[in-house]
Each structure stands twice: as C-alpha cells, then as structure tokens.
Amino acid sequence: MKSGENRKRAEEALVRCQRLASFSEDQGSLRRTFLSPPMVDCYREIACWMDPVGVSVLVDAAGNLRAFYPGVRSGAPRLMIGSHLDTVPDAGAYDGMLGVVLAVSLLESLGGRKLPFGIEVVGFSEEEGVRFGVPFIGSRALVGRLDEEQLASEDACGISIRKAVENFGLNSGEIPQVCLTKEYLGFIEFHIEQGPVLENLGLSLAAVDSIVGQSRLELAFFGHSNHAGTTPMNLRYDALAAAAEWITAVECRARNTAGLVATVGRIEAKPGATNVIAGETRVAFDVRHAADEIRIQAVNDLVGQAKGIADRRGLRIECGVLLEQRAVPMNSFLVNEIEHAMKTIGCAPHRMMSGAGHDAMIMAGKIPAAMIFLRTPGGISHDPSESVAVEDVEKAIDCGLQLLDQLASSNVLQERMGFA
Ligand SMILES: [Zn+2]
C-alpha cells in the first residue's frame, strides 16, 4: 500500500460521515430512523460511492442496506462488514455511520483485488430503537430473531414496523428470507468506543472481546407518609431516606468490584411534597459486567442489602426485573486476528469489553462476530459534538486491510471455506 493513501481515505471517510449526517428528519440537528426519507438519501449516497467499485446496493426486506463485493470465485463465502445507519435524536455524525463508511473505504482500498471470500457491506436499518422502541431491527432480521410481536410494535403515529416496511414498498412477507445462510463466514463492526477508556490509555484502537451483560431492575421501598413537622425522627418510616442509603451502597459496591458498573438513574418519591415524609420511593438501577456470574452476584447482593436497610428501618421492599441480558463474547479467532493486525500495523494491541450493546452482539448469535473500537475524543457520543481523529480512522483502515489479508491466508478460514 502506498503511504499516505490511507490518510486520504481516512479524510474522505470523515467527509462522508458528515455528508450522511446531513440527511436528517429534524431541521438543524441529526435524527434518522427506520426507513425514513433521509434514510433513502443515505442509501442513494452510498450507492454512488459504491458505483466506481462495481458494486450495486440493495435494500433488503428489513430495510438493511446490503452491497456485495464478490470473491475470487463465484459462490465463495462472504465476510460481512458494517454497522448501523440510524441515529438517536440530536446525534453525532459517527456512531454507526463510521462503521458503514469504513467498510466502503476497505473495498475501495482493495483496488479491485479479489479475496478468497466475498465481502458484503451492511448498513443496519435501526439499531438505536428510536422509532418503535425496538432496537436492533436490522440485525435481528439477519439472525432470524425479528418476531411477530416486534413487527407489530408501533411508532408515535401508530404505524407498525410491518406497515412501515410495506409503506416503503418492500415486502414484509420476505423478512424471514433476510436471515443469513451458511455462506456467511463472520461479521466485523468498526464503531467509535463512545466512552473515555482508549483516550485515557492514549490508544487509537481496541479489539472488543465481549459485550457486557446487563441487568435492569426496579426497586420500591414502602414506608409511611407523614407530617414533616410533627413526626419525630425516631418515629419515621421514610422511604426516600432508605433509598438514599441504598443508592450509596450501590455506588460503593461498583467502585470496589473490578469491571462492574452500577447506576441508579431514576428515582421517584411519593407523595413528593417538601413537607411530607415520603411513604413510597421507586428506583431503577442498571448493573453491567463482562462476566455474568459477577453481575448476577452483585445484583443479588444489592437486593439483599436493600432488604436489610428496609428491615432495619421498619419498611418493606418490592423488586422487579426489567431486563436481563447475558454477556456476549466476541469470536476468539476473529479477536486474535484483529489484535494481530493491530500489532502488525504498529498499533499497541489492546482488548476491551463494550459497555454498550451493538449489532455485533445480535450477529454473534448466528455467525462469528467481532468489533474494532476507535478512540472517541472526550468519550462523547450521542451528542452533536461527537468526533473522531483522522489519524485513528487511518489506523482503522490500515488495521482493516491487514485483517482482510490475514483472513485471506488463514488456514482456519480456508478449512471452513472448504479449499484447504
Ligand atoms: Zn452505534
């Protein structure tokens, strides 16, 4: 590869992300959801980029952009590379989009060279779940996990996913056929880290080795409401004070357990008046760790502590699970190959877990999947000030090309592809 060539591609990738970010449902800020008119602009724009590479773009029945670059022989298996094209409201220009743009850059960098496997670029239709409250619509369809109940979910205008697909002119009856077949070797997703870890370490890239498991629970403390002036401190059953004691215990537990993050992000006290002792307090909390047993143990201990605090204060608690999601390990062969590619291009190899969910987590249920994180300046994401450095994007392209070359000569893959 000529030196400086990938720098130019990196600069172009950033311009392209900005171009995609100009396609929005909102005036003056970026929001792009499932099969919306600005999503069509994205499809059209990406099709223009792919044209000189000789690759045509299609939109599948679940609204995913798909573009296939064939391998050295027809019928060769495929490697899928991409990320999502939808955004949150008031979004930045790189979350998701950068992963699709980099997949296109890699195809361009090949300069027409064919590999033993084909490469399919994917732009997932909806990862964030903004329009219907259903995240990962595109990737769920690819792994055959988009069910009837999800398809019936409605947006704010009462339009279901199925209806939105039909309104767009696609056939919702073909969604089951979108499911990936055996010819897919694996999935690689480039994505900004969306956190401060790589910046703190002074590193450009990381190989993601797992996506954390999550527990979300709601806990209610029940005491007695009473007069804030006439009830002495020793005769109170204050549900809000009990919750406050417990919240600091949650923070303490997470601070003292390596890799654990725990957050109480919502609290509601009733009746909610300045001069009334709270009789009921509800809190929602979120606990995440790469190891399921550590996460589950932490949740059990924290619920036990809440019970202890309530008992000591003469209160009672109720606890309900809102979400329970197991950790998803990334494919170890691909993670090793990514790390090796990082080393080869002169990047310090680093592995990390992802604290957020991604399409790769869904894809991993069907085919080998792995992710490459890029440093996120200030750790800022889901915000218009989200950014990424051109030198890190250049390293991502270097790393991606190196990875493709490694995979092209890998015995493991050749065996899987049946021409060892
Ligand atoms: Zn994302």
Judge contact between 228 and 275, C-beta under 8 A.
yes
Residue 210 CA to ligand 1 center (angstroms) comes to: 16
Note the pTM of the prediction, 2 decimals: 0.90
CA–CA gap between residue 111 and residue 2 (Å, rounded): 12
If you measure from the C-alpha of residue 136 to the centroid of ligand 1, how many angstroms do you get, rounded to a whole number?
10
Distance 382 CA to ligand 1 centre (A): 9
Rounded distance from Cα 89 to ligand 1 centre (Å): 13
The pLDDT, as a whole number, for residue 323 is 87
> Average pLDDT over the chain, rounded to whole?
95
Two structure tokens written together for 17: 């992300």
The rounded Å distance from CA 13 to ligand 1 centre is 17
Q: Which of 6, 400, 410 is nearest to 205 (CA)?
A: 400
SS3 content of the chain, % helix, strand, coil (to 5): 40, 25, 40
1 has pLDDT over 70: no
Q: Which of 395, 332, 404, 11 lies closest to 203, judged by CA?
A: 395
- State in Å: Cα 193 to ligand 1 middle: 9
State in Å: Cα 84 to ligand 1 middle: 6
Expressed in angstroms and rounded, the spacing between residue 237 Cα and the centre of ligand 1 is: 44
Give residue 326 CA to ligand 1 midpoint distance, Å. 19
| CA 238 / ligand 1 centre spacing (Å) | 41
pLDDT at 200: 97
Query: Ligand 1 center to residue 235 CA distance, Å?
Result: 50
pLDDT of residue 74: 87
Backbone phi and psi for residue 356, each to the nearest 5 degrees, phi listed first = -115, 155
Ligand 1 centre distance from Cα of residue 419 (Å) = 36
User: How far away, in angstroms, is 111 Cα from ligand 1 center?
Assistant: 28
Q: Which two tokens stand for residue 32?
A: 């792009």
Task: Please tell me the distance between residue 127's alpha carbon and the centre of ligand 1 in angstroms.
Answer: 7
Distance from Cα 25 to the centre of ligand 1, integer Å: 18
* For helices 239-255 and 292-313, angle between their N-to-C axes, nearest 10 degrees: 150
Cα–ligand 1 centroid distance for 194 (angstroms): 8
Tell me how far the alpha carbon of residue 359 lies from the centroid of ligand 1, in angstroms.
Answer: 8
Q: Given a cut of 50, is residue 419 above it in pLDDT?
A: no
Determine contact, residues 51/38, Cβ cutoff 8 Å: no
Q: Which residue has the tokens 């703190």?
A: 200
Query: Distance from the CA of 271 to the center of ligand 1, in angstroms?
Result: 39
Q: C-alpha angle with apex 13: 7 to 17, nearest 5 degrees?
A: 150
CA of 301 to the centre of ligand 1 (A): 32
CA dihedral 192, 196, 200, 205 (to 10 degrees): -10
pLDDT band at 275 (very low <50, low <70, confident <90, very high): very high
Contact 46/106 with Cβ under 8 angstroms?
no
Question: How remote is the CA of residue 120 from the centroid of ligand 1, in Å?
Answer: 19
Residues within 5 Å of ion ligand 1, judged at the Cβ atom:
95-96
Task: Give the distance (Å) from ligand 1 centre to CA of residue 358.
Answer: 6
> Which sign does the torsion angle of CA 385, 390, 392, 394 carry?
positive
Measure 45 CA to ligand 1 centroid, in angstroms.
20
Section 57-76 average pLDDT? 95
- Nearest 5°: phi and psi at 342? -60, -45
pLDDT at 417: 59
> Rounded to whole angstroms, how far apart are CA atoms 331 and 126?
23
pLDDT of amino acid 17: 98
Can you say whether residue 267 is alpha, beta or left, with left for phi > 0 and alpha for psi between -120 and 50 degrees? Answer: beta
Q: What's 396's DSSP letter? A: H
pLDDT band at 164 (very low <50, low <70, confident <90, very high): very high
Cβ atoms within 10 A of the Cβ of 20, count?
25
CA of 2 to the centre of ligand 1 (A): 31
Of 363, 352, 335, 351, nearest in space to 84 by CA = 363
Cα of 380 from ligand 1 centre, angstroms: 13
Q: What tens digit of pLDDT does each residue of 372-416 get?
A: 999 999 999 999 999 999 999 999 999 999 999 999 998 777 676
Check if the beta carbon of residue 172 is closer than 8 Å to that of residue 165: yes
SS3 for 294-346 is HHHHHHHHHHHHHHHHHHHHCCEEEEEEEEEECCEECCHHHHHHHHHHHHHCC
Instruction: Yes or no: say if 299 and 228 are a contact pair by the CB < 8 Å rule.
Output: no
So what's the pLDDT on residue 75?
A: 86
Distance from the CA of 95 to the center of ligand 1, in angstroms?
Answer: 5
- Give me ligand 1 centre to Cα 252, in Å: 30
The HSE-up count of residue 307 (CA atoms within 13 Å, CB side) is 8
Convert the pLDDT of each residue in 82-96 to its tens digit. Answer: 999 999 999 999 999
- State the distance from the centre of ligand 1 to the C-alpha of 311, rounded, in angstroms: 43
User: What Cα–Cα distance (Å) separates residue 346 from each residue in 1, 7, 349, 363, 404?
Assistant: 15, 15, 9, 29, 16
Q: How far is the CA of 261 from the centre of ligand 1 (A)?
A: 20
